[in-house]
Structure 1
């Protein structure tokens, strides 16, 4: 069900929905951050700090919950190993510069009009299926009791929302359960100031390696999911038109600033928008609340191993709910065959390959209909 866009006067209104929705995307970004930190040695506190700052900035800029999250293709390669922190920084600087320039030139809007909506829906559907698989296979199956318990909480809140119009606070409740489990295992973490940002530019070879290993896989994903799918979903959910050029520019600014200062390159994402909306966020105030929580987390979660005390079922349940939200939007496609083919290609081959295949398949489909 669509909602009207928030009035500017309602922007700073703190509601239960905005509080619950502020943490809606934590099930995606927090596991990625701590996995990257464990794999590469990057500062977890600095990643949380820079992400929190951009949460707040994005809330003010867009005034609706436009998500902030790590570059997923870069994160996936980093977690798998084989890249240095300098190469990660180089990928963010290259990606950031590219999308800043394209956004400022106004060409992203031109490009958006030439990509069929069925391809964008296919990306939403593919991302939903991939997140569903991750929720079950990477988190749920390894912590089945907690996973099922959290799914029951999701179902109860959904039932309450439909029967008696209760606010959906399931994300907040589930996250609180995870924090209680963490505190009962490790006690209260020791507070420490986040690692201070240090300007450090990669060398020439790191730029070359990053271009082939990280940037090329990331660009189609950013174009399809972070810009085109996010713009479409924002219009559907909030009745507010967010231009692809504006999204391109803020993605570029995020990636450039965080990479130069030692954080992880960032972007937007349709999955994150769906997550914030799914758990009740309706204005940019939710992003400001989420940013404050992340900044507080950067003080207490200086050690990535601390997060392993949070049951995996917590993250699995949050991802599961977001996946279903995205799949629902992906199924609104006008050309089911194109979108379905893309989704099934993406599961083994990745979203970038599915995006290219979707463009080709949509063009062939259009040609044979002439």
Structure 2
């Protein structure tokens, strides 16, 4: 098996990407909406997060990463935090927006410390290439499974959307998300015409974010926020640090991105989100794979999407909320499926021996459940195989 040197120093086959085009970047900007939209709608509708707060946080973050890195770099909700908050399991009876905003501030402080101390890079050096690819593969499978679960409740539209997406992906990809969203909105309007009426009647006025500073001293808010932030840390390390760095080096090897820089960006982004009253955010390997698969090649993709979210947050948060609610489950499931499919095929290359395959597949299997635990399992398994304590 490959010796445990720095996994990032091991060259890997680089894909050949098509040239950058404006239409590709505009189409690819919509590629990550399958992950973003379900949480965006859930935070606004179920958790009571002010639309302007969350839209401004995502918009500003997307514009910043697109400008700074110059590549299609995704910004996503933190999934463990979002799942717990939307299920109300960890924050029952609390001001959910205040809890989420405080969780973002705590998350920001943690990842800034991890970046400035070198902890993120030190941890990453102990995870092999097979472990990293296993995390990416597991996240891709998890997205596919999440997509199929949504499609299960809207089978005809979901199956048709997946087939249509795969056909469009084979023809350049840039039309994939625009066509899926247009189809979804058409079906959603037919099923729920009252939502379109709500969209037309929503007022166009300047909206300001709703900071949560006064609510942070409420009983129980700190306890709930610390619990949410702590539960997310392992998953963020696996997906938003290791995964996004590996995917960036695979797709855009000329971009100078390491684990410390990714951790620093995650920290600063969450301090800003918490200040605006928004939930925690992170980067995501699946989002990059989806954007690239749909045609994105430059930072214009996140800048375009970020600008739309920023303007919508300031002037049309009500309209966007109604528009997002119009998309059926089958459409959202197909978007998640495309993101997961694009991520999994990126780990298919390079030959491996039996032990390396064991590390890859075991890490992937656990990462489907939790990427952070997947990292730990992969490291332990590889160390045991290398020391001959474990045998396969």
- Does the TM-score normalized on the shorter chain lie above 0.5? yes
Q: Which runs of 5+ in 1 are unaligned?
A: none
1:43 touches 1:302 (CA, 8 Å); kept in 2? no
Could you tell me which of 146, 155, 161 is aligned with 1:150?
Answer: 161
- Report the alpha carbon displacement of residue 123 of structure 1 after superposing the two structures with TM: 1.2
- Give per-residue Cα distances to partners, 1:11-37, cap 9 Å, x unaligned: xxx611100100110111111111122
**Structure 1 position 16 matched with structure 2 position 32:** no
**Structure 1 position 103 matched with structure 2 position 124:** no
Q: Which residue of 1 aligns with 2:102?
A: 90
- Report the alpha carbon displacement of residue 291 of structure 1 after superposing the two structures with TM: 0.8
Could you tell me which of 334, 337, 341 is aligned with 2:362?
Answer: 341
CA distance in 2, matches of 1:5, 1:147: 28
- Give per-residue Cα distances to partners, 1:243-278, cap 9 Å, x unaligned: 211111111011111112211211101111111111
User: 1:343 and 1:173, CA in 2 relative to 1: closer, same or farther beyond 3 A?
Assistant: same
User: 1:86 and 1:302, CA in 2 relative to 1: closer, same or farther beyond 3 A?
Assistant: same
2:53 touches 2:210 (CA, 8 Å); kept in 1? yes
CA distance in 2, matches of 1:36, 1:167: 29
- Report the alpha carbon displacement of residue 369 of structure 1 after superposing the two structures with TM: 8.5
**Structure 1 position 361 matched with structure 2 position 377:** no
CA distance in 1, matches of 2:374, 2:303: 34
Could you tell me which of 176, 199, 217 is aligned with 2:231?
Answer: 217
CA distance in 1, matches of 2:124, 2:109: 19
CA distance in 1, matches of 2:326, 2:338: 22
**Structure 1 position 134 matched with structure 2 position 155:** no
- Report the alpha carbon displacement of residue 59 of structure 1 after superposing the two structures with TM: 0.5
1:37 touches 1:43 (CA, 8 Å); kept in 2? yes
CA distance in 2, matches of 1:149, 1:233: 29
CA distance in 2, matches of 1:256, 1:46: 13
How many positions carry a matched residue from both structures?
356
Q: Which residue of 1 aligns with 2:280?
A: 265
Q: Which residue of 1 aligns with 2:57?
A: 50
User: 1:40 and 1:260, CA in 2 relative to 1: closer, same or farther beyond 3 A?
Assistant: same
1:3 touches 1:238 (CA, 8 Å); kept in 2? no
User: 1:154-303 alignment to 2 at 5 Å?
Assistant: 154-159=165-170, 161=171, 166=172, 168-182=174-188, 185=193, 186-187=195-196, 188-189=199-200, 190=202, 191-198=204-211, 200=213, 202-203=216-217, 205-211=220-226, 213-239=227-253, 240-298=255-313, 299-302=315-318
Q: Which residue of 1 aligns with 2:9?
A: none
Q: Which residue of 2 aligns with 1:352?
A: 372
CA distance in 2, matches of 1:346, 1:35: 24
- Output the aligned Cα RMSD: 2.5
- Report the alpha carbon displacement of residue 227 of structure 1 after superposing the two structures with TM: 0.9
CA distance in 1, matches of 2:322, 2:56: 17
Q: TM-score, normalised by structure 2?
A: 0.83
Q: Which residue of 1 aligns with 2:11?
A: none
**Match of 2:387, SS?**
helix
**Structure 1 position 125 matched with structure 2 position 131:** no
User: 1:259 and 1:328, CA in 2 relative to 1: closer, same or farther beyond 3 A?
Assistant: same
2:101 touches 2:212 (CA, 8 Å); kept in 1? no
- Report the alpha carbon displacement of residue 301 of structure 1 after superposing the two structures with TM: 4.3
CA distance in 2, matches of 1:172, 1:141: 22
Q: Which residue of 1 aligns with 2:345?
A: 328
Q: Which residue of 1 aligns with 2:331?
A: 314
- Give per-residue Cα distances to partners, 1:264-299, cap 9 Å, x unaligned: 211101111111111111000111111122234434
User: 1:275 and 1:367, CA in 2 relative to 1: closer, same or farther beyond 3 A?
Assistant: same
Q: Which residue of 1 aligns with 2:84?
A: 77
- Report the alpha carbon displacement of residue 232 of structure 1 after superposing the two structures with TM: 1.0
- Report the alpha carbon displacement of residue 142 of structure 1 after superposing the two structures with TM: 1.2
User: 1:362 and 1:226, CA in 2 relative to 1: closer, same or farther beyond 3 A?
Assistant: same
2:30 touches 2:291 (CA, 8 Å); kept in 1? yes
Q: Which residue of 1 aligns with 2:15?
A: 2
Q: Which runs of 5+ in 2 are unaligned?
A: 1-13
Q: TM-score, normalised by structure 1?
A: 0.88
- Report the alpha carbon displacement of residue 199 of structure 1 after superposing the two structures with TM: 5.1
- Give per-residue Cα distances to partners, 1:46-67, cap 9 Å, x unaligned: 2122201111111011111111
